[in-house]
């Protein structure tokens, strides 16, 4: 598959700091790409370079075949973005704000603006001034603004910042729909890792300006051994059987915890049943993105 | 480009402060007009035998010159003007609406102030609101965005200038009677007395006053783009606007004084007065102004198009 956005050996030096070091990766149409990294890792700088707010010291970013250096306008036609907070003009209505940004794009009709307003569910309040909007409504207007010109790449920097759980869920639904139905490539950066896990298909981790890992969420979780927790009686029998399978058995609070591959769970269950153990529950504790993330960046602090 | 200017225009008039400014401006002019009708008349009234009155006036002035020679310059000009009127049969102007229009030229500096405030905010505010991030990620070059803002400022100043002219004409006609716009107006140019129609003269005066406006607005715009700080831009521009003449006076004995912006902003000095610095000419001043203008815009452009937009 042809990538829609490609970073080629991007470097950025600010003063004497080498902030971004040889960053290269690709984003494909229809995928939701999570961009992770602790604060100060270069996440925001990278995003700002993707949308042309900051220049690169060397390297290039190619969007739908257009170099951001040489064909900036053409490249930007393909990009919709919210960089940090969606800061619109507070003294104008939501509608006027959208008209404002629509005029800066290509072929955005009034019908299209209305369509986008409906998509984000702001019809009722669109003629109110933005200063009267709640944070959630501003966030929605921000998304509307980013979608006006039907971009093929949507960049959302901290899109769920300050949203309540239902707001987050809504954003997740838009993102999913855009990626799956309209084949838009979505780049999301967030520090709420559980959010990212639910939303993203693939993620890249940046640390100290370098790309340290890039993989799909499924791979990251499926390969790994997982922790299995079994609640069953009598506990001593359970413990004895489990010890035949694996060395590390930890028993606490009437449960046995073991670590093993997913494939072996059915065998163990059969064995327990054959030994007349009453099983109340078996569940797996999936390795989370957070564990992966911490493993990759060491114990760097995430705020 | 047109749609960008429309955007800027929309944002400008969506802000309450713009409207408050305009309303204040209209109130001030109207107030001034009403004050003029009740206050003492600013020009003496001449009767039908105005030629004799003028001759009388000239005699008195000649006497005064002998007594206090230091005031000769101003009085001599007046004498020349009076003689010119007598020779060419041009009666002294009554205080008509046109005279009012011409006097309201002083409000151009108010327009300057108003436009400076808006120029100061035009870029700085985008940064302050954070909207600059949404503005600069569009498929429109930064150069176009910068110039659409600048052109909008000029259009706004033009709107106010035309508004001032028309409003003054309206109020003048209403309160003083407009008189004829072909009334000759007598003035000095390069030591010679000339006359032109009062309307042409008024338009010329407004035009000259706008030069200072243009320069100060461009200056404020540059500061706004370079330092992204509207208070600084307003402060610097207003300070320079008010102290411009003192700066020139302070350095007037230096050779480079004639290159100071403010030695050149008052083009009126070549038509109705004596230049601040002797060897200044209209052509020289206009050239200096153009250079300053291009430097201001160039600096704004360079910084605005090249700078990284980092967290604000």
Whether residue A80 has pLDDT greater than 80: yes
Best mutation target, A50, A63, A83, to test chain B (most B CBs within 10 A) = A83
A33 and A91 share a domain? Answer: yes
The mean of the pLDDT values for chain A is: 84
Q: Round to whole Å and give the CA distance between A99 and A120.
A: 16
Of A52, A91, A100, the CB nearest to B137: A52
Q: What is the pLDDT of residue A301?
A: 46
Residue A296 in domain: no
- Nearest 5 degrees, angle CA B276-CA B277-CA B279? 135
Reported as a single tens digit per residue, the pLDDT across A181-209 is 888 999 998 777 777 778 888 888 888 88
Q: Is the model more confident about B39 or about A33? A: A33
A240 and A98 share a domain? Answer: no
A9 and A153 share a domain? Answer: yes
A108 and A247 share a domain? Answer: no
Range of the domain at A45: 5-220
Angstroms from A220 CA to nearest CA on chain B? 33
A200 and A234 share a domain? Answer: no
Looking up residue A199, the CATH number of its domain turns out to be 3.40.50.300
Percent of chain B with pLDDT over 90: 26
In terms of C-beta distances under 8 Å and separation of at least 24 residues, what long-range contacts does A68-73 make, across chains too?
A: A72/B139, A72/B141, A73/B139, A73/B140, A73/B141
**DSSP string computed for B108-129:** HHHHHHHHHHHHHHHHHHHHHH
Calculate mean pLDDT across residues A122-132: 90
Q: What is the pLDDT of residue A303?
A: 38
* pTM of structure: 0.82
A123 and A194 share a domain? Answer: yes
Q: What is the pLDDT of residue B310?
A: 80
Location of structure tokens 């569940």:
A283
Of A73, A77, A83, the CB nearest to B133: A83
Q: In this complex, how many residue pairs, one in chain A and one in chain B, have their CB atoms less than 8 Å apart?
A: 80
Reported as a single tens digit per residue, the pLDDT across B90-112 is 777 666 777 778 788 888 888 98
Q: What is the pLDDT of residue B294?
A: 95
C-alpha dist (Å) from residue B215 to B50, B117, B292: 42, 14, 8
Instruction: Give A 82-121 residues with CB within 8 A of chain B.
Output: 83-92, 96, 99-101, 103-106
A145 and A250 share a domain? Answer: no
Q: Round to whole Å and give the CA distance between B7 and B10.
A: 5
ipTM of the complex: 0.78
- For A88, other C-beta atoms within 10 Å of its C-beta total 26
Q: Round to whole Å and give the CA distance between B35 and B39.
A: 6
Structurally, chain A folds into a number of domains equal to: 2
The chain B residue lying nearest A100, using CA atoms, is B7
Looking up residue A247, the CATH number of its domain turns out to be 3.30.70.240
Q: Which residues are CB-neighbours of A53 under 8 A, at least 6 positions away?
A: A83, B133, B136, B137, B308, B309
Whether residue A128 has pLDDT greater than 60: yes
- For B89, other C-beta atoms within 10 Å of its C-beta total 8
Whether residue B280 has pLDDT greater than 70: yes
A35 contacts A203 by C-beta, under 8 angstroms: yes
- DSSP H or E run through A148: none
Reported as a single tens digit per residue, the pLDDT across B166-223 is 888 888 888 777 666 666 777 766 667 777 777 788 888 888 888 888 998 999 999 9
Percent of chain A with pLDDT over 90: 16
| Alpha-carbon dihedral sign for residues B141, B142, B145, B150 | negative
Q: Is the model more confident about B261 or about B97? A: B261
Reported as a single tens digit per residue, the pLDDT across B58-67 is 778 777 777 7
Q: What is the pLDDT of residue A286?
A: 65
The reply to whether A54 touches chain B by the CB within 8 Å rule is yes
Whether residue B47 has pLDDT greater than 70: no
């Amino acid at each position: 598959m042809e990538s829609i956005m490609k970073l080629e050996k991007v470097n950025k030096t600010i003063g004497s700091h080498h902030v971004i070091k040889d960053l290269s990766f690709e984003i494909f149409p229809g995928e939701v790409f999570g961009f992770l990294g602790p604060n100060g890792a270069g996440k925001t700088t990278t995003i700002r370079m993707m949308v042309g707010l900051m220049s690169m010291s060397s390297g290039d970013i190619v969007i739908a075949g257009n170099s951001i250096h040489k064909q900036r306008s053409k490249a930007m036609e393909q990009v919709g973005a919210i960089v940090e907070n969606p800061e619109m003009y507070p003294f104008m209505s939501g509608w006027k704000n959208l008209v404002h940004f629509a005029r800066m794009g290509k072929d955005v009709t009034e019908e299209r603006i209305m369509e986008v307003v409906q998509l984000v569910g702001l019809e009722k309040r669109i003629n109110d001034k933005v200063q009267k909007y709640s944070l959630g409504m501003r966030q929605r207007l921000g998304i509307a603004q980013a979608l006006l010109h039907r971009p093929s790449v949507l960049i959302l920097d901290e899109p769920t910042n300050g949203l309540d759980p239902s707001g987050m869920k809504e954003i997740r639904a838009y993102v999913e729909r855009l990626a799956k139905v309209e084949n838009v490539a979505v780049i999301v950066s967030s520090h709420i890792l559980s959010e990212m896990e639910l939303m993203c298909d693939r993620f890249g981790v940046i640390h100290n300006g370098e790309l340290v890992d890039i993989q799909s969420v499924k791979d990251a979780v499926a390969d790994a051994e997982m922790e299995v927790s079994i609640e069953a009686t009598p506990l001593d029998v359970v413990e004895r059987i489990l010890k035949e399978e694996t060395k590390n058995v930890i028993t606490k609070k009437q449960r046995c915890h073991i670590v093993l591959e997913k494939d072996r769970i059915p065998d163990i269950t059969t064995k327990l049943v054959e030994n007349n153990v009453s099983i109340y529950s078996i569940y797996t504790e999936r390795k989370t993105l957070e564990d992966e993330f911490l493993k990759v960046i060491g114990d760097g602090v995430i705020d | 480009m047109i749609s960008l200017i429309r955007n800027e225009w929309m944002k400008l008039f969506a802000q309450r402060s713009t409207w408050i400014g305009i309303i204040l401006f209209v109130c001030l002019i109207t107030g001034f007009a009403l004050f003029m009708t009740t206050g003492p008349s600013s020009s003496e009234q001449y009767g039908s035998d105005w030629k004799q009155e003028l001759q009388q006036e000239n005699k008195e002035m000649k006497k005064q010159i002998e007594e206090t020679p230091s005031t000769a310059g101003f009085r001599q000009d007046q004498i020349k003007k009076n003689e010119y009127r007598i020779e060419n049969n041009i009666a002294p102007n009554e205080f008509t609406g046109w005279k009012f229009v011409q006097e309201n030229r002083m409000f151009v500096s108010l327009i300057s102030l108003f436009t400076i405030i808006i120029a100061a905010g035009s870029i700085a505010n985008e940064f302050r609101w954070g909207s600059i991030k949404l503005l600069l990620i569009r498929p429109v070059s930064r150069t176009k965005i910068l110039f659409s803002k600048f052109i909008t400022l000029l259009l706004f100043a033009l709107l106010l200038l035309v508004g001032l002219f028309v409003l003054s004409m309206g109020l003048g006609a209403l309160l003083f009677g407009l008189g004829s716009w072909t009334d000759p107006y007598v003035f000095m140019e390069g030591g010679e007395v000339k006359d032109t129609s009062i309307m042409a003269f008024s338009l010329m005066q407004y035009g000259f006053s706008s030069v200072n406006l243009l320069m100060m607005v461009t200056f404020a715009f540059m500061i706004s783009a370079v330092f992204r700080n509207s208070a600084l831009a307003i402060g610097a521009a207003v300070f320079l606007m008010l102290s411009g003449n003192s700066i020139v006076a302070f350095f007037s004995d230096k050779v480079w004084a004639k290159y100071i912006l403010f030695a050149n902003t008052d083009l009126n000095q070549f038509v109705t007065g004596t230049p601040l610095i002797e060897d200044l000419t209209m052509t020289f001043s206009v050239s200096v102004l153009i250079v300053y203008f291009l430097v201001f815009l160039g600096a704004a452009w360079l910084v605005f198009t090249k700078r990284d937009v980092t967290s604000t």
